[in-house]
Amino acid sequence: MIRPSARIFIVMALVVLSGPVFQAAAQQDVPAAPAQEPSASAPSAPAPAAPVFPKPDPANFTASSPSKETVTAFLQAAWGYDDSRMWQVQAIQKTPVDGISKVLILVGDKTGKQKAGVLQFFALPDGKHIIAGDEIVPFGEHPYADYRDMVRQRADGPYRGSAMKDLEIIEFADFQCPHCKDAQPNMDKLAVDFPKARVVFQNYPLPQHPAAAGAAAYGVCVAKQGGSDAFFTFASAVFEGQDGLASADGAALTLNSAVTKAGLDPAKIAACSKTPEATTQVDASVKLAQDLNINQTPTLLINGRQIPANAPYDTIKQIVQFQAKLDGVAAQ
């Protein structure tokens, strides 16, 4: 869980900006206002209406790159899954740094229920990345293609579903991360709802969790000796007993119990987990996460598209369906 609030803010700004579920999650609970009887003489409040954006001023388009068409294609890839989202490219301006352009987007909700806002980001000279807040985010007409290629080549964790990689849903998780535990119902639903997808588990043990790396090595050995089915039985048991990972003795008991539930020999798995081969595989998975610019757990990559794995399930499902359509692959 590295800087989760910052990462979620940026990711959701480019994925589900102003989504009502996320706004609600960020608000404190307050008592409901007392009900009032409507006054016969008081006029009813007007129904919400979609915002009307001001016409863009051509003088605000001073940069030669990116083009308005490229920005629009990028936003369609990022936001097109949400039929209620509306936006307008308001400015693409030169900056004092050669090759870096400032882009301003007006964003609103067609129902008028969400307040309109402004998104600003800086497009980099490579044409493939932008800076939004303090994050570097993939950009372009096909912003997730490079990450999709990377995980196709290097993601080697145990999986559920299809052996094909046409639609890959990859979870980067840490066995000692509470948010990862909370995300597991989402992962189970994805495996059921998208049987044509390849749903992969990739280890990403974080340094602030003392037992995470050892648990990851255990998982590598369980998958090696028992296959993917044994791994997911093991993983479910570890997440269920996650509190036991808080101490060294508790971690040993929790991991060995999970191995037994997976139908394997705890002594053999424990010995395997201490080998250089197991450690190397965990390290390779961590390196993959870092190369993908993933800095929080749990994170999902949907054909290279990054979103929080503990987002509301209906939103995740909607994005999976949309991304599959974008990529021209079967989702279900």
pLDDT in tens, 251-294: 999 999 999 999 999 999 999 999 999 999 999 999 999 999 99
Q: What percent of the chain has pLDDT over 70?
A: 86
> What φ, ψ does residue 33 adopt, rounded to 5°?
-70, 145
- Model confidence at 222, in pLDDT bands (50, 70, 90)? very high
* Domains of the chain with CATH codes: 55-143 (no CATH), 146-327 (3.40.30.10)
Q: What is the DSSP string of 153-220?
A: HH----EEE-SS-SSEEEEEE-TT-HHHHHHHHHHHHHHHH-TTSEEEEEE---TT-TTHHHHHHHHH
Distance of CA 286 to the CA centre of its chain: 16
The predicted structure's pLDDT at residue 112: 86
- Model confidence at 331, in pLDDT bands (50, 70, 90)? confident
Asked if pLDDT for residue 239 goes beyond 80, the answer is yes
Q: What is the DSSP string of 64-99?
A: SSS-HHHHHHHHHHHHTT-TTEEEEEEEEEE-SSTT
- Model confidence at 25, in pLDDT bands (50, 70, 90)? very low
Span 308-330, pLDDT tens digits: 999 999 999 999 999 999 999 99
Say which residues have a Cβ less than 8 Å from residue 118's Cβ, sequence separation at least 6.
Answer: 90, 104, 105, 106, 107
Lowest mean pLDDT among 39-48, 70-79, 226-235: 39-48
* Global pTM value: 0.84
